[in-house]
Structure 1
Amino acid sequence: MANSPEVEEPTAEYSAVPDVAEPESPAVPPEHKPSFFARLLIFIGFVFALIVASCFGLRALNVLPSFDNPFSSQTVDRSQPVLLQSMRDLHRYVAADGTFQVIVDLQQNKENIPDFLVNRRILFVGSGTVETYVDFSALAGDALKVDEEKKTVTLTLPPPQQSMAALDMAKSYVVEEDRGLLTSIGDAFRSDTDKQQRVYQAAQEKITEAAKSSGLDQRAQQNTQMMLESLFTRLGYTSVTVTFTTP
Structure 2
Amino acid sequence: MTTSIKRMPVWAKVITAVVLVLVVLFAGLRLAVLPGLRDLFGTETHDRSGPALLQSIQDMSRYDAASGNFQVVVDLEKDAKYLPDAIRGTRTLYVGAGTVDAYVDLGTLAKSDVTVNSDRTSATLRLPHAVLGKPALDPDRSYAVSKQRGLLDRLGDIFSDNPNSERSVQKLAAKHIGDAAKDSHLTARAEKNTTSMLDGLLRSLGFTDVTVTYGT
Pairs within 5 Å for 1:44-123: 73-123=43-93
More helix by share: 2
Q: CA deviation at 1:175?
A: 0.2
Query: Which secondary structure does the structure 2 equivalent of 1:184 belong to?
Result: helix
Q: Deviations over 1:14-49 (max 9, x none)?
A: xxxxxxxxxxxxxxxxxxxxxxxxxxxxxxxxxxxx
* Alignment: residue pair count: 176
Instruction: List gaps (5 residues or longer) in structure 2.
Output: 1-40
Equivalent of 1:127 in 97, 100, 105: 97
**Matched-pair identity in %:** 44
Counterpart in the other structure of 1:222: 192
Pairs within 5 Å for 1:199-238: 199-238=169-208
d(CA) in 1 for partners of 2:103, 2:207: 25
Q: CA deviation at 1:73?
A: 4.8
The structure whose RCO (Cα within 8 Å, separation 6+) is larger is 2
Q: 1:210 to 1:240 in 2, by over 3 A?
A: same
d(CA) in 2 for partners of 1:163, 1:213: 14
Q: CA deviation at 1:72?
A: 6.2
User: What TM-score do you get using the length of structure 1 for normalisation?
Assistant: 0.68
d(CA) in 2 for partners of 1:144, 1:166: 33
d(CA) in 2 for partners of 1:75, 1:207: 33
Quote the RMSD (CA, aligned, Å). 1.6
Equivalent of 1:161 in 118, 126, 131: 131
Q: 1:73 to 1:182 in 2, by over 3 A?
A: closer
Q: CA deviation at 1:76?
A: 2.8
d(CA) in 1 for partners of 2:130, 2:191: 7
d(CA) in 2 for partners of 1:100, 1:217: 15
Q: Deviations over 1:109-154 (max 9, x none)?
A: 1122111111111110000010001001111331111113261000
d(CA) in 2 for partners of 1:224, 1:207: 23
- The letter for the 1-side match of 2:151 is L
